[in-house]
Structure 1
Amino acid sequence: MAPYNLHWGIIATGSISSEFSRDLLVDPSTRGVTDISHSIAAVGSRSVQSAERFIEGLKAAAPSDGWTWGVQKGKLDGVKACGSYHDVYNDPNVDVVYVGTPPSAHHRNVKDALLAGKHVLCEKPFTFDLEELDELLAIAKDKKLFLMEAVWTRFHPLAAEVAALLESGKLGKPQRFSADFSMDWKPDSEPASHRMLNPALGGGSLLDMGPYPSVWAMLLVQRNPHNHDQDPQVVFSHQTVYERTQVDLNSRWLVQWKDLCQGLLLSDLSASGQREATAVLQCEEGDLVIHYPPYKAETFSIIPRPDRFAGAIKEKTTHHHPIAQGNNGLSYEADEVARCLRQGKVESEKMPWAESRIVQGWFDVVRTQGSTPLATIKGTAGQ
């Protein structure tokens, strides 16, 4: 049987859209996939010329580039360069739209695509606030359209191995959790207009970087077999304000899972983060440590507790589960979209709407309790 081929429309032509499009064109067999393939049917930008440059950049793949396979196999044949996003939404050759615009535009872009009858994969953070997200979920449900937040980390090889480890019960009940995504970004060296520093674009560490400590909270605690709390709440939060533009330089928040444990989550633009402890789940029998980087982790360790409090884990072991060679890691989530659409699903069991709502709710609490301009900005729900 021929692989199920999904035809994508790409919205925006920035770096993340480029990486995603390249990964669509990588030979699926290199990651052990034989039932799925991907093609790009249309690219939307603010001008036809910009879309054409984006497409030409894909076609100019060198022989050593991982996405050369797709170019040679005709996965760009007939791709249309569009000078508006609506031209992509209305293209009958497009099955699903990938939204790679800045976060402040996600709600508008996704809403327009859904109203045009297209399935959507939207980059994280899903929306600016929970009200925007709930409006999009209602539209998708009403129109029976697939919608998913593009949390690529959930679909990587390591995520599956960690899930199996937790299901085995080897580590026992969680006792506490921490996760961190920090970058020594040196914001003083960037213009105030940069998207990471501009409040009007949702700048600061929380919305851009916060999804990564949150994904490990979801994978290690929320989905843990011992957890029965489907509505974990933020107990307290703190933001340090970057004085030049008033966005958050760092954010941290403590989440409580009833009758289980607490978790401290951190995003930061002023420090590098820890190499071997980007996320830590401490359990009754031993600790699970995810190695940096949190967005594309390939290594984890299982570590014994201190001798004074020893558990069943007696020796440290380290486990490596790399992304397939020639692949940046974004194709795994694209494969999930294709399989869901092939099965007629409107949401993914691996990245369900309910878990996107939990994380979006955390961000709303941290943002509105802080003192940045984002605390009082309203989203575009209803517009």
Structure 2
Amino acid sequence: MSKPLRWGIISTGGIATNFAKDLLTDPANRSASDVSHVIKAIGSRSVPSAQKFLDMLSSADAPADWGGKNGSLDGCKAHGSYEEVYADPNVDVVYIGTPHTLHHRNTKDALLAGKHVLCEKPFTLNMEELDELIAIAKEKKLFLMEAVWTRFHPIMYAIQDVLFSGKLGKIKRFQADFSMNFNADKQPDSHRMVDPALGGGSLLDMGPYPSVWAMMTLFNHPSNNKTPPNVLFTHQTIYKRSNVDLNSRWLLEFPGLGGVQALLTTDMATLGCGEMTALIDCEEASLAIAWGPFKPEKFWIIPHIARKSGSITEKTEHSHPVVGNSGMAYEADEVFRCLAKGKLESERMPWDESKIVQGWFDQVRKEGTSALKDMKGTEGQ
């Protein structure tokens, strides 16, 4: 194993907390003997805020306490600005965990400072921002990846193995949903799900999750030959208080799979469809993925009931638990391995696939009537 990968963490919110704690878990518990992570810098709007975050990490409970006990926080500095993290000579790669509308600016600044970047999803507000970041990464020869951690979970590989093996026959239909009641009426105007300036609404915050299942099971299916789908339909319901989208849905058609249609839904005002987050109907049976879409740990293969068709006659449950804190360490391991091999992008989370999903979001947003419909990005600034 080569020397540890030295991380800088931007922002001290909930998502950054989960990521940082995952970096502090024992890689051996997820059968990763070739990786090593340390945190060297925390960036916040003030030194006390960054220090509070660092103190929290230093006193973290198991399994994140492993890192503190084994030197993963040794020499970590609390910085009162993001720029200080970008300039820190002890940082190799920066994790961007800020609100959606800041992703482009923060990532661009980190890249221009010569740092590799793992940026939370959604990657950017629009395609123009994303294109600019990719161009900078290419020019600077720096690694850049969108943090879609679900792509790297054990269950994703297991589901792909089942679908790609042909055991269930051809895929006939797909639907994936991320619905969660955020009680928007009880939230302040500044809440990230309510405030349009922070990219509020269900689409950008929740949309990456149904999207990852469509990309990994349909787009990446061998029979699809990496053929991008067509967007057939989009719809948004508006939350009138702040004019962000209360829910969004879009219908895709995959010509590479014979016209398979995929319905993707996000909703921040209802609880959704119980214990299931996605359903993939195939010729021989259906494959149902457990809730939630960000970190499911089991799936079911379900026989067809109608006309008793299909060769599979018994329902089976398949468990593939995530090891560690929140399941975000798997993507950090991918960054380590890519950098060890001198790669600028991940083969499992490539730039072109981020652009496909960004294109969906752009179209849904621009065909809707929310406050984000015509929002401009910070590309070129």
TM-score (structure 1 length as normaliser): 0.97
Q: Deviations over 1:166-221 (max 9, x none)?
A: 22111111111100000022111111221100111110000000000000111111
Q: Secondary structure at the match of 2:122?
A: coil
Aligned to 1:161: 158
User: Structure 1 residue 336 and structure 2 residue 334: aligned?
Assistant: yes
Distance 2:274 2:325 in 1: 22
Quote the residue 2:346 is aligned against.
348
Partner of 1:10: 9
Q: CA deviation at 1:228?
A: 3.1
Q: Is the 8 A contact 1:3 1:34 kept in 2?
A: no
On the 8 A contact 1:179/1:278 being kept in 2, the answer is yes
The one of 225, 232, 235 aligned to 1:235: 232
Aligned 1:208-247 pairs, distance under 5 A: 208-228=205-225, 230-247=227-244
CA distance, structure 2, for counterparts of residue 305 and residue 141 of structure 1: 48
Provide the C-alpha distance between the structure 2 equivalents of 1:264 and 1:109, rounded to a whole number of angstroms: 32
Q: Which runs of 5+ in 2 are unaligned?
A: none
Match of 2:85 in 1: 88
Residue in 2 that maps onto 1:293:
292
Residue correspondence of structure 1 range 1-383 to structure 2 within 5 A: 2=1, 4-62=3-61, 65-228=62-225, 230-258=227-255, 259-308=258-307, 310-324=309-323, 326-383=324-381
**Letter in structure 1 aligned against 2:363:** V
Structure 1 residues 190 and 136: alpha-carbon distance in aligned structure 2, compared to 1, 3 A threshold: same
- The Cα of 1:51 is off from its aligned counterpart by 0.8
Partner SS, residue 375 of structure 1:
coil
Aligned with 2:53: secondary structure? helix
Question: Contact (CA 8 Å) 1:173, 1:226: kept in 2 or not?
Answer: no
Deviation per CA, 1:35-65: give whole Å up to 9, x if none.
1110001111111111111111111224xx2
- Matched to 2:171, the amino acid is P
1:229 to 1:37, Cα distance in 2 relative to 1, 3 A: closer
Q: 1:277 Cα deviation (Å)?
A: 2.6
**CA contact under 8 A between 1:175 and 1:283: conserved in structure 2?**
yes
Rounded Cα–Cα distance in structure 2 between residues aligned with 1:332 and 1:162: 17
| Other structure's SS at 1:236 match | strand
Amino acid in structure 2 at the alignment position of 1:165: V
Task: For residue 309 of structure 1, report the CA deviation from its aligned partner.
Answer: 5.7
Q: Is the 8 A contact 1:178 1:279 kept in 2?
A: yes
Aligned length: 379
How many Å separate the matches in 2 of 1:228 and 1:286? Answer: 23
Change (3 A) 1:335 1:101: same
Q: How far does residue 3 in structure 1 lie from its aligned partner after superposition? A: 5.3
Q: For the Cα contact (< 8 Å) 2:175–2:264, is it kept in 1?
A: yes
One-letter amino acid matched to 1:274: C
Give 1:268 shift.
0.1
3-state SS of the aligned residue for 1:337?
helix
Whole-angstrom distance in 1 between the partners of 2:30 and 2:273 = 29
For residues 8 and 147 of structure 2, the distance between their equivalents in structure 1, rounded to whole angstroms, comes to 15
What SS does the aligned partner of 1:29 have? helix
SS, match of residue 348 in structure 2: coil
In the aligned structure 2, how far is the partner of 1:312 from the partner of 1:116? Answer: 57
Amino acid in structure 2 at the alignment position of 1:303: I
Task: Show structure 1 runs of 5+ residues with no match.
Answer: none
Deviation at 1:225, TM superposition (A): 1.8
* C-alpha distance in structure 1 between counterparts of 2:307 and 2:217, whole Å: 25
The answer as to whether partners of 2:18 and 2:325 remain within 8 angstroms in 1 is no
Q: CA RMSD in A?
A: 1.2
Q: What displacement does 1:123 show? A: 0.3
Amino acid in the other structure paired with 1:167 = F
Counterpart code for 1:27: D
1:327 shift after superposition? 2.1
Question: Which amino acid in 2 is paired with 1:311?
Answer: G
Partners of 1:231 and 1:382 lie apart in 2 by 28
TM-score if structure 2 supplies the norm length? Answer: 0.97
**Shift, 1:231, TM fit:** 2.2
Q: Which amino acid aligns with 1:362?
A: W
Partner Cα separation in structure 1 for residue 359 and residue 80 of structure 2 = 35
Shift of 1:285: 1.5
Identity %: 59
**C-alpha distance 3-27 of structure 1, shift in aligned 2 (>3 A):** farther
Aligned counterparts of 1:80 and 1:229: Cα–Cα separation in 2:
43
Q: Which moved more, 1:40-49 or 1:275-284?
A: 275-284
Report the more deviating stretch, 74-83 or 219-228: 219-228
> Contact conserved, 2:220 with 2:226, CA < 8 A, in 1?
no
> Shift of residue 20 of structure 1?
0.6
Question: After superposition, what is the alpha-carbon deviation per residue over 1:71-113, rounded to whole angstroms, capped at 9, x for unaligned?
Answer: 0111111011111111111111111000000001000000011
Residues 144/116 of structure 1: CA separation in 2 closer, same or farther (3 Å cut): same
Match of 2:222, SS state, is coil
1:141-169 CA distance string (max 9 Å, x none): 11111100000111111011111112211
Answer yes or no: is the 8 Å Cα contact 1:227–1:260 preserved in 2. Answer: no
